[in-house]
Structure 1
Amino acid sequence: MKKSTASLVLTAIAFAASSVYAAEPVIGLITKTETNPFFVKMKEGAQAEAKKLGAKLISAAGKADGDNAGQVTAIENMIAAGAKTILITPNDSKAILPSIKKAQAQGVMFIALDSPTDPIEGTDALFATDNYKAGVLIGQYAKTAMAGKPAKIATLDLFPGHPVGAQRHNGFMSGFGLAAADAKSNELSKTAEIVCMADSFGDQAKGQTAMENCLQKNPDINLVYTINEPAAAGAFQALKAAGKEKGVMIVSVDGGCAGVKNVKAGMIAATSQQYPLKMASMGVSAGVAFAKDGKKVTGYTDTGVTLITDHPQKGVDSKDTKVGMDLCWGNK
């Protein structure tokens, strides 16, 4: 009799434990890569929010920018693990759509972070910087700082066809006063002022190579736009090796802690700061809410952007690097 009672108690405890586990919301996070500091911070934000809200976070990433196959596999693995919400920064905004659609048919909510799908309606929601505005801000800054000096511009872009890369590039051009496509286009605009366009894949080493190639093409480049701060760091190294670092302005996007330090050091003139930690924490929160009430979050949520520079220009709203360090990656 005692043995039977003990067995019942153990069974009840096991059932209660399994019920608690089953009730634990499972959230998936798929980033473009695991090494880019932007996505490292995004993962940290998701982990912190998941712990706070009692959710289980499963994370994965592509091997490199552009690795769609790795993200497809990650989606399949996360569904098998019970994820009902998946947060994703798409490596290929179009190629990922069939996998997302298949998962959505199984009741999974998808939220894009930072990078939209193409079309944007491919996910249930998007939490991201206004990337076109981020480009406009550094374009306006560069135009004012150039003070009428003719510009010979190099653009170190992401890679062809990516929405974020196009939005930042075209936004920069628009802010600088050059004819450019609007935020809906995924094509990179070009005018005579842009003397070199090269793909950096958001990588420092590739950014350095791209800048070296641009300098060979036109040694008189005096303004460099970069898709992000790792690419900007690579561009600076190439310029320094060529003895041109003091005569060329670099502007960029991200506002990461390392990037803000490079602004303070004078390597980057200005950067548009975005907030990946905020994107991730909002995504996890929405996923937990979905697990509780079944209501999906929809539409676009702007997570903010701030121009950071220690050399402000009249008529261009900005904050200094002290503020930039306080806010880098959304620390506050």
Structure 2
Amino acid sequence: MFAQPTKRALSAGALALAGALAFGVAGCSGSSDSGGSDEQIKVGLVTKTDSNPFFVKLREAAQAQADASGAELISLAGAFDGDNEGQVAAIENLVSQGVQGILITPNSSSGILNAIKSARDAGVIVIALDTATEPEDAVDATFATDNLAAGVSQGEWVKATLGDTAPQIVMLDGTPGGTVDTFRHDGFLQGFGVEEGAAEIVGQENTNGDQTKAQTAMENLLQRAPGVNALYTINEPAAAGAYEAIKGAGLTDQVVIGSVDGSCTGVENVKNGVIGATVMQFPAKMAEQGVDAVVKYVQDGTKPSGFTDTGSQLITDTPVDGLDSKDTSWGAENCWG
């Protein structure tokens, strides 16, 4: 059982949302036939932050799909990666605004369960995007990347590219306890073929997926582990920051860098040799399918269920035998579609 958020915590979350509310409420003109009513369908979207490019793309795709469906999208976000209280406050805010469905990329897979339950009890359909809840059936449905599989792909490519060289692995993780972070981390180890705590892992730092933090973390790690030759990164900003530190140390030919995201910037970094390979996700697909599911539910009562894998694809210009991959030309045409 999870404790209800305190009044003080909710107030803090609400304050954190003030900035998001200023720009996040976006709609379109016209109305939609919702189960025989002329009332416009309202869809709420709660992302982890409003600045990470992944969530920006997701929000833009959700807005476009809502516009095309004649629905109104109300977008809110946490103040920072890990702002669970802000997301709880956002859910309560959206319910009070009368949304019929909420799409959420949860910061904590378990910390928002009470808020989600309250929303569902009020008749609001709740769909997780990008990150599954724990348990998974705490929401009506999930549209997301299989992040364990994405991590496996990264690990397999880094291992295969390293070849017979004895590995010295550094891991630049995201946010401690995050579900996506855990799945990608565990998947990388599985794909690489090493256990947690193995001697081959010579360094590990949390970066919150931030480029500047990742660069600082990598600079520090290189002081302790100058022989590093295999690098796991939670996302492409972390990979870009790590590369700057590696370049500054004159070790670009020594370290094999893998990542996950598949942004257009990330694909360009693969093309330019900043990242060796990345695993592309499809946030636009998550958002589009989520909006469509809410609209369909309101219009005819069809409720989505279960986990829908929106796919992932290894992108690299240095393919290895036995691993399915696409080159950066394909990646540039499909980035974050």
In the other structure, the counterpart of 2:97 is 81
In the other structure, the counterpart of 1:111 is 127
1:173 to 189, 195, 200: 189
In the other structure, the counterpart of 2:163 is 147
In the other structure, the counterpart of 2:27 is none
Structure 1 residues 34 and 314 mapped into 2: Cα distance closer, same or farther (>3 Å)?
A: same
The 5 Å alignment of 1:77-226 reads: 77-179=93-195, 189-226=196-233
Percentage of pairs with the same residue: 53
Contact 2:281 2:312 in 1 (8 A): yes
1:233 to 232, 240, 243: 240
SS of aligned partner of 2:111: coil
Q: Structure 1: how far apart are the matches of 2:317 and 2:32?
A: 55
Q: For residue 217 of structure 1, report the CA deviation from its aligned partner.
A: 2.0
Of the two, which has the highest radius of gyration? 1
Structure 1 residues 193 and 54 mapped into 2: Cα distance closer, same or farther (>3 Å)?
A: same
Structure 1 residues 234 and 254 mapped into 2: Cα distance closer, same or farther (>3 Å)?
A: same
1:296 to 276, 300, 303: 303
Letter in 1 for 2:63: Q
Write the deviation string for residues 185-219 of structure 1: whole angstroms up to 9, x where unpaired: xxxx3321111111111111111122122112211
Q: For residue 41 of structure 1, report the CA deviation from its aligned partner.
A: 0.6
Contact 2:32 2:41 in 1 (8 A): no
Structure 1 residues 17 and 248 mapped into 2: Cα distance closer, same or farther (>3 Å)?
A: closer
Query: Which residues of structure 1 form unaligned runs of 5+?
Result: 1-15, 180-188
SS of aligned partner of 1:272: strand
- Equivalences, count: 306
RMSD of aligned C-alpha atoms? 1.7
Write the deviation string for residues 127-174 of structure 1: whole angstroms up to 9, x where unpaired: 011111111111111111111101101111112221111111111111
With the length of structure 1 as denominator, give the TM-score of the two structures. Answer: 0.89
2:250 to 234, 243, 254: 243
In the other structure, the counterpart of 2:49 is 33
In the other structure, the counterpart of 1:272 is 279
SS of aligned partner of 2:321: coil
Q: Structure 1: how far apart are the matches of 2:136 and 2:278?
A: 25
Q: Which of 236-245 and 31-40 deviates more?
A: 236-245
Letter in 1 for 2:40: E
In the other structure, the counterpart of 1:325 is 332
Q: For residue 246 of structure 1, report the CA deviation from its aligned partner.
A: 2.4
Q: For residue 34 of structure 1, report the CA deviation from its aligned partner.
A: 0.9
Q: Structure 2: how far apart are the matches of 1:41 and 1:286?
A: 19
SS of aligned partner of 2:336: helix
